[in-house]
Structure 1
Amino acid sequence: MNTNKIKNLARNATKSKDGRTVLSNFGYLTLLQFASYLFPIITVPYLSRVIGVEGYGKIAFASAVMVWVQTVADWGFLLTATRDVAKCRDNKAEVSRIFSETFFARCLLAIVSFIFLCLLILIVPDFKENAEILFVTFLMIPGYIMFPDWFFQAIERMRYTTITNLLVKTIFTVAVFIFIKEKGDYIIVPLLASLGTVAAGIIAMYLILKKWDYSLHRVSFHSVILAIKRSTDVFINNLFPNLYNSLSVVLLGIYDGSVANGIYSEGNKFVNIGQSVLGVVTRVFFPFLSRRIDKHRIYVVVYMGATFCIAVILFVSAPWLIDWLYTDEFADAIPVLRIMSISLVFVAMSTAYGTNYLIVQGHERILRKITMWCSLAGFAIAYPLIIHYSYIGVAVTVTFSRMCLGISSWLAVMKLKKNHLENK
């Protein structure tokens, strides 16, 4: 594509309402992601010295458990509710109905998750040992439900998400330096994060219910259950990757301790940041593609190109990044970062062809089957790899599973497109 074509594409995008909305949301989410890098750069060197690798390991263990809780509380609504609201965003009554059903369904699921977490703490020794930090970290879930990020995404008003998050992150960063002074203060980290999430949730509910005049009205228990059933395929699709992802971190903590968890967590941190960057493109395009699937090819080109660049940068700069931000005890995180950077390419494939095509097009069941089989394959290799290779085993498990998921999603979409052309 030559320079004139690029200029024409940019000019046409700014002229159309959809183009301006996409570009505006992209700008605000890019700013938010930039802040997501800036704030950790400020706090990570300080925290790594004060709370140490063991403290990081305990936080990583609790965070990995909360991934399961959060996945249950989400139950696929982050995609299905976003898609449904995006399609009827000009109908305030219908949007309010979807918002109400989704909110109360997530509350019900969070309560069930909390009960199950309490049972695990009573039964499993490692959970009982970390009960305090698990309960503190769980406080993020109510705030997470109150802050319906999916709703802002669906009505394509990401400016408010950005402003609220920037405010909360700034307060959190300042609080880290004020309240965390010694190794035992590691539990304050998730406490501050939880309080920040709840504060953001209160602000979000004010905007939705007061400023924009949407309603949160009483819904029947039957309608809540139906809403959960409609999102079950997407929930399964979101849940099963935890078999090879967060469960691997939990197994690593059980069999190799908090230090190994800390090394893997910090090696993977930069990849998570990379995923957050790519998530900007995904989140901007998802509601748009729900209305204009004909633009999917443009999205894939932009998304995969950006992913490849980020993956190469992380792989090459791994030694410098770890040495710059961490103490010498984190040196073993370098190979973890390099292995995980490769997985980014496959994450992008599964997102581009799975989330932003199969789900957008209503093929949740196809993606569910793909995710189940790929996750089970990852789960099968997780235990022996972790036992023999510790944190390196976790990195290999996650990368292999993501490779299977990405390639399988791409093949499924190619098959659907081929069948569509043959049936014309």
Structure 2
Amino acid sequence: MIKKIDFSEYKTVINNFFNLAFVQAINLILPLITIPYIMRVVGIEKFGLISFATSIVNYFGVLVAYGFNLTATKTIAQNINNKILINDLFCNVIYARIFLSIISLILFIIIQFLVKDFNNNFFIYLSLLLSVIFTNLSPDWFFQGVQNLKFLTRVNLVLKIISTSLTFLLISNKSDYYYLAVLPFLNSILLFLITQIYVQKKYNISFKRINLRSIYLELLNGRYLFLSQIKITFFSNFNVVVLGFLTNNTVVGIFSSADKIIKVFSSVQIPIVTALFPHFAYKIKQDKQKAYKELNKIAIYGSFIYMPILIVLFVLAKQVALLMFGTEINEISFLIRIMSIIPLLVFLNNLFGTQFLLNTGNEKKFLINLILAAVLNIILIFPLTIYFEGVGTAISVLVTEFFVLISLFYSANMVIKKSIEY
């Protein structure tokens, strides 16, 4: 019999969850309003181009992020009262990300001269690249670490509403598709400026002289998580990139349309898993076995909640595709049904991988599992995409996510079994 979770221990988590949940609800609602409009105005081909470009620049985004959203968050959560350490960490992370941003821009300039598609759509790629750079320079990891997400969520909410309003005002015909790259760029700059000013004033953070050794140590400390984040981006973007090179923008647009719906349902979990990470960082440090039992309870309760929602998505996939896109309905709905279980797999993978393995210092185990999954995905993606196009890509993603769940669950159990023996 499953014991009930003591929610009194989760007061801060629940508070952060509701702050995140409110904004996440807006994040779910706004695309439901804008995507149908965008698809009908700019068309599925231009939508496919933006999706392909976004997948490319997200690789630069993972380089700039470098896993600090997890390593820095964990360090702050476990040293919440050490103001000097937190100030030094803040400076090191920002300096490291600026350094990685410069590298990204240099690599981008080199690539745009070598790849024709980059050169033909330089403005689109550059705008999207700058948006991921400034987004990653915003200290959202700091807010997560101090478990104070109220301000961050409110700022994101206001910026999202402004961006959505501008979408309807600025995009009125097919040639306006470039605004789909410009608006995220403007949004990211405002987010960067507002959050940086707030953190420095609210928490008395002051920038110190650059210490190259400290930056190097931060990069060294986060190397396993950086490689792990490459995997996550690999799954999210590599498949779209391969699909784009092997087919065309229309096929990419069809797959990306279905993938957008799956990501909307996957993002439902973001508030809870984001709020849980610093909580489990602290709990695991106190009692690993007790924390693991609580994590399993969350996995069971979460699955019971998620499954009925995903069953409804599977059944109503055609109606969802018609409502959202109004084009290529049969193809999009079929892909939605293939991938409909993925949000649940992502949720469970986060619990056993990010929440447990990373918080117990098992970054190597986490990385090895993801490398094996990446190899499996590479083996599957090319033949499946060549023969079945978007359907093959969807099958590859589904099989790989199942593999990730099995391997992470096994590794987490081996870690806890070893701790019991000792």
Q: Same fold (TM over 0.5)?
A: yes
- Indicate the residue corresponding to 1:33 in structure 2: 24
- Deviation track 1:307-346 (CA, whole Å, cap 9, x = no partner) reads 3344323222211111112122344111111112222232
Find the residue that maps to 1:165 and give its secondary structure.
helix
The answer to whether the 8 Å contact 2:92/2:218 transfers is yes
**Shift of residue 54 of structure 1?**
0.9
1:111 aligns to 2:110 (yes or no): no
* Paired residues for 1:183-262 under 5 Å: 183-262=174-253
- Indicate the residue corresponding to 2:336 in structure 1: 337
- Deviation track 1:27-63 (CA, whole Å, cap 9, x = no partner) reads 1111011001111122112111111101110110111
**Shift of residue 75 of structure 1?**
1.0
What CA distance in whole angstroms lies between the structure 1 residues aligned with 2:330 and 2:362? 43
- Which moved further from structure 2: 303-312 or 261-270? 303-312
Question: For structure 2, which runs of at least 5 residues remain unmatched after alignment?
Answer: 285-290
- Indicate the residue corresponding to 1:269 in structure 2: 260
Find the residue that maps to 1:90 and give its secondary structure.
coil
Letter in 1 for 2:177: Y
Find the residue that maps to 1:332 and give its secondary structure.
helix
Letter in 1 for 2:23: L
What CA distance in whole angstroms lies between the structure 2 residues aligned with 1:256 and 1:195? 31
Find the residue that maps to 1:371 and give its secondary structure.
helix
What CA distance in whole angstroms lies between the structure 1 residues aligned with 2:221 and 2:15? 31
* Paired residues for 1:364-375 under 5 Å: 364-375=363-374
**Shift of residue 153 of structure 1?**
0.9
Letter in 1 for 2:46: G
What CA distance in whole angstroms lies between the structure 2 residues aligned with 1:49 and 1:162? 30
Count of aligned pairs between the two proteins: 414
CA RMSD of aligned residues (A): 1.8
- Deviation track 1:344-378 (CA, whole Å, cap 9, x = no partner) reads 23222221111110001110001111101111110
TM-score when scaled to structure 1?
A: 0.93
What CA distance in whole angstroms lies between the structure 1 residues aligned with 2:271 and 2:45? 32
- Indicate the residue corresponding to 2:326 in structure 1: 327
What CA distance in whole angstroms lies between the structure 1 residues aligned with 2:300 and 2:225? 25
The answer to whether the 8 Å contact 1:104/1:224 transfers is yes
Letter in 1 for 2:395: V
- Indicate the residue corresponding to 2:381 in structure 1: 382
Question: For structure 1, which runs of at least 5 residues remain unmatched after alignment?
Answer: none
- Indicate the residue corresponding to 1:301 in structure 2: 300
Letter in 2 for 1:394: T
What CA distance in whole angstroms lies between the structure 2 residues aligned with 1:128 and 1:307? 43
- Deviation track 1:208-229 (CA, whole Å, cap 9, x = no partner) reads 0012212232231221121111
What CA distance in whole angstroms lies between the structure 1 residues aligned with 2:413 and 2:155? 40
**Shift of residue 86 of structure 1?**
0.7
**Shift of residue 244 of structure 1?**
4.2
- Indicate the residue corresponding to 1:412 in structure 2: 411
The answer to whether the 8 Å contact 1:54/1:258 transfers is yes
* Paired residues for 1:11-160 under 5 Å: 13=7, 16=8, 18-160=9-151
Find the residue that maps to 1:169 and give its secondary structure.
helix
The answer to whether the 8 Å contact 1:103/1:145 transfers is no
The answer to whether the 8 Å contact 1:244/1:379 transfers is no
What CA distance in whole angstroms lies between the structure 1 residues aligned with 2:301 and 2:275? 12
What CA distance in whole angstroms lies between the structure 2 residues aligned with 1:244 and 1:205? 31
Letter in 2 for 1:115: I
What CA distance in whole angstroms lies between the structure 1 residues aligned with 2:61 and 2:93? 14
The answer to whether the 8 Å contact 1:55/1:186 transfers is yes
What CA distance in whole angstroms lies between the structure 2 residues aligned with 1:38 and 1:279? 15
Letter in 2 for 1:193: P
1:359 aligns to 2:366 (yes or no): no
- Indicate the residue corresponding to 1:286 in structure 2: 277
**Shift of residue 234 of structure 1?**
0.7
- Which moved further from structure 2: 162-171 or 214-223? 214-223
What CA distance in whole angstroms lies between the structure 1 residues aligned with 2:121 and 2:306? 36
- Deviation track 1:1-24 (CA, whole Å, cap 9, x = no partner) reads 89xx86xx6xx63xx4x5321111
**Shift of residue 384 of structure 1?**
1.2
- Indicate the residue corresponding to 2:399 in structure 1: 400
- Deviation track 1:45-84 (CA, whole Å, cap 9, x = no partner) reads 2111111101110110111012211111111111111101
* 73 and 137 in structure 1: CA distance in 2 versus 1, 3 angstrom threshold: same
Letter in 2 for 1:355: T
- Deviation track 1:175-225 (CA, whole Å, cap 9, x = no partner) reads 011111111111101211110111011110111001221223223122112
Q: After TM superposition, which residue ranges in structure 1, 4 or more long, deviate above 6 angstroms?
A: none
- Indicate the residue corresponding to 2:288 in structure 1: none
TM-score when scaled to structure 2?
A: 0.94
Find the residue that maps to 1:328 and give its secondary structure.
coil
* 163 and 98 in structure 1: CA distance in 2 versus 1, 3 angstrom threshold: same
Letter in 2 for 1:196: N
The answer to whether the 8 Å contact 2:97/2:137 transfers is no
Find the residue that maps to 1:277 and give its secondary structure.
helix
- Which moved further from structure 2: 50-59 or 307-316? 307-316
- Which moved further from structure 2: 300-309 or 228-237? 300-309
What CA distance in whole angstroms lies between the structure 2 residues aligned with 1:169 and 1:245? 22
- Indicate the residue corresponding to 1:318 in structure 2: 317
Quick one: percent identity of the two aligned structures?
A: 27
Find the residue that maps to 1:362 and give its secondary structure.
coil
